[in-house]
Amino acid sequence: MIPPESYMMLQALSTGFSMFDKAQTYSDQTSQVYAQYDAAQRQAAALDDSTYSGFLHLADVQQLEAKKHAVNVTELYRIARRTRAAQEAQNEEQFGSHSLTGAKRLQVLDFEALSAARRKNENFETVVKDFENKRRNLTLENITAKNRAYSGLSSLPSKTGLVTGLAGDLIDAKLSIGYGVGADGKIFDRFSA
């Protein structure tokens, strides 16, 4: 008993629409995944630009800080030289060139000048370490933001799944057209009878 032609046409149309729907769904999912990756890459590029601008800003501020500290150290040395010269002149007037008191005062002045210069250098080193930490923090913030941008991205849909789904539709169509269930509940082949 061969099934009617209209039934076979209906099954063929149903199978065709199902296969078209699966192919279209696969195409839509693929496009969506590529759009997600594109958006994530654009966001990562914007984050890189922002981080680069942050690095440039830090470099400018660090240059200004270095200039400020350099001027202060130079000024400190100039004041120390002037104070030492004044003390040497005073020592010469009061005690003579070989006075122990005058020599001690000069040693104290030298020690204070060197201590002040050392503190200035230590302060500058602290500022430099602070800038290094700020650069490291900018880098870590960039990495964290990129991880957020790339997390949750979908993977491409499976081509194997598409092919398997299409093959399943064809098998279902063959089974529904080629086989039927009789009044007694038994399966029979429609084309062999």
Tokens of 193: 């009878």
**Beta carbons within 10 angstroms of residue 149's beta carbon:** 17
Q: What are phi and psi of 179, to 5 degrees?
A: -130, 150
**Amino acid at the residue 4:** P
3-state secondary structure of 95: coil
Q: What is the pLDDT along the chain (193 residues), one digit of tens a residue?
A: 566 677 778 888 888 899 999 999 999 999 999 999 999 999 999 999 999 999 999 999 988 888 877 766 677 777 777 777 777 777 777 666 566 666 677 777 777 777 877 887 788 888 889 999 999 999 999 999 999 988 888 888 888 988 998 898 888 888 777 777 777 878 777 766 5
> In sequence order, which residues have a C-beta less than 8 Å from that of residue 92 and are 6 or more positions away?
102
Are 47 and 164 in contact, with CB atoms under 8 Å apart?
no
State if pTM tops 0.75.
no
Are 169 and 22 in contact, with CB atoms under 8 Å apart?
yes
**Amino acid at the residue 77:** Y
